[in-house]
Amino acid sequence: MPFLHPLQDSAERDAILAGGPLVRYPEKANLILLTSRPPQLETPLHYFDRAITPNEAFYVRYHIFPIPTRVDLATWRLRVGGLVERPLELSLDDLKTKFPPTRLVAVNQCSGNGRGYFEPHVFGGQWSNGAMGNAEWVGARLQDILRAAGIKPGAAEATFNGLDEPAAPSVPDFVKSLTVQHLMEDPDVLVAYQMNGAELPMLNGFPARLVVPGWYATYWVKHLSEIMVLDHAFEGFWMAKAYRIPDTPCGCVEPGSTPARSVSIQRMNVRAIIATPKNGARVALARPVTLKGVAFDGGYGITQVEFSDDRGATWRRVELGPDFGRYSFREWSALWIPKTPGYYRLMVRATNRAGESQPIEPLWNPGGYLRNVIERVDLTVA
């Protein structure tokens, strides 16, 4: 059932977010420029009509500058130290040959993906929905590496550092941590040196990056160079102060308010993205319109995607593409034939194996994280 009047609100914000210039960076296709230094480049939405995001279209996000622009594999090493029996210094060849290569398709999504839509607005990268990508990663299991190093009793966390070093010692280096329990329970955490069958683009972490399936990209440290095992919880800036969400079941608070307590962001929630048609598009009456996009979650796996053209009153299941595993984008598509002229709002929602779905109204938190409201496109049928 169409609306009588056009719906302005979402199209308006879309125009602002999509207004960033397209830029061409090394090894990259034209991407949306958020910032130049350090670079933040967004994947245009149309790439999400398929399950695998091409390397050249994969978004880019750094925290500190300068970033690595030159890596010599003759000298690059991944060092493993701290509370271990045998500290390691692994070359890229060591990573490839000393540990069984493990293959995994997994979504990498920035914690702040969709931040630009937050109301009230929040500071931070004003991403539309393109701060994400899905790739086939090949790498060494972190478990295997840690076993080779031999974790000593009393180990609590491991920290992950990359080649990006701050220009001044006063700037907190980008270091993340995960619990040893997480690392030993999850065999899918990888040190990945291959992305969609090729070496990693420099701007996506060459020569190797951490892959933490199901978890937001903040943990997927690029240009990985050092793993340290600690006997205590790591308290660095990027864990203790940044990437925090409200300590509430939804990770949200009353819009505009400050949470009483916060916790580190972790697992991704359920989302479905509409790649095509574009928001604000005009389509012809009685002609079939193909809707396409991807759905994903934090690792339970997507079981169904549904579509509504009546403001969410009724929903029907749409076609799902091939299943590349529970951490992957799942392609979805639907055919829709508008039978009456007017203004339509098409909505798409996903549900995962745990029964989790998406809210009809957006949740809010001061960091602009965890956006997973049911996405929509507004179309004019004439």
Binding site for other proteins (CB under 8 A): 7-10, 12-13, 20-21, 23-27, 33-39, 65, 67, 69-74, 116, 119, 121-123, 126, 167-172, 199, 202-203, 206-207, 237, 241, 246, 248-250, 252-255, 359-364, 373
CB of residue 18 vs other proteins: minimum separation in angstroms?
13
Q: What is the 3-state secondary structure (H, E, C) of 153-165?
A: CCCCEEEEEECCC
Using the minimum distance from each CB to other proteins, give the nearer residue, 117 or 216: 117
Using the minimum distance from each CB to other proteins, give the nearer residue, 100 or 168: 168
Give the pairing type, strands 78-82 and 224-230. parallel
168 contact partners, CB below 8 Å, separation of at least 6:
none
Using the minimum distance from each CB to other proteins, give the nearer residue, 53 or 365: 365
CB of residue 324 vs other proteins: minimum separation in angstroms?
28
CB of residue 56 vs other proteins: minimum separation in angstroms?
10
CB of residue 242 vs other proteins: minimum separation in angstroms?
9
Using the minimum distance from each CB to other proteins, give the nearer residue, 69 or 85: 69
Q: Distance between CA atoms of 228 and 244, rounded to whole angstroms?
A: 22
CB of residue 74 vs other proteins: minimum separation in angstroms?
4
Using the minimum distance from each CB to other proteins, give the nearer residue, 10 or 308: 10
Using the minimum distance from each CB to other proteins, give the nearer residue, 310 or 319: 310
Residue 287 — φ and ψ, nearest 5°? -100, 135
Closest CA to 58 of 169, 197, 200: 200
Using the minimum distance from each CB to other proteins, give the nearer residue, 241 or 316: 241
Reported as half-sphere exposure (CB side, CA atoms, 13 A), residue 100 has a value of 8
Task: At 157, list the tokens.
Answer: 């966390």
DSSP-assigned beta bridge partners for residue 317: 306
Is the CB of residue 142 less than 8 Å from the CB of residue 189? yes
Q: What angle do CA 34, 39, 43 make, to 5 degrees?
A: 55
CB of residue 10 vs other proteins: minimum separation in angstroms?
8
Buried/exposed code over 268-300 (b: 16+ C-beta within 10 A; e: otherwise): bbbbbbbbbbebbeebeeeeebebbbbbbbbbb
Buried/exposed code over 244-259 (b: 16+ C-beta within 10 A; e: otherwise): bbbeeeebbbeeeeeb
Using the minimum distance from each CB to other proteins, give the nearer residue, 167 or 322: 167
CB of residue 87 vs other proteins: minimum separation in angstroms?
23
Give me the residue label for tokens 């076609």. Answer: 319
CB of residue 38 vs other proteins: minimum separation in angstroms?
7
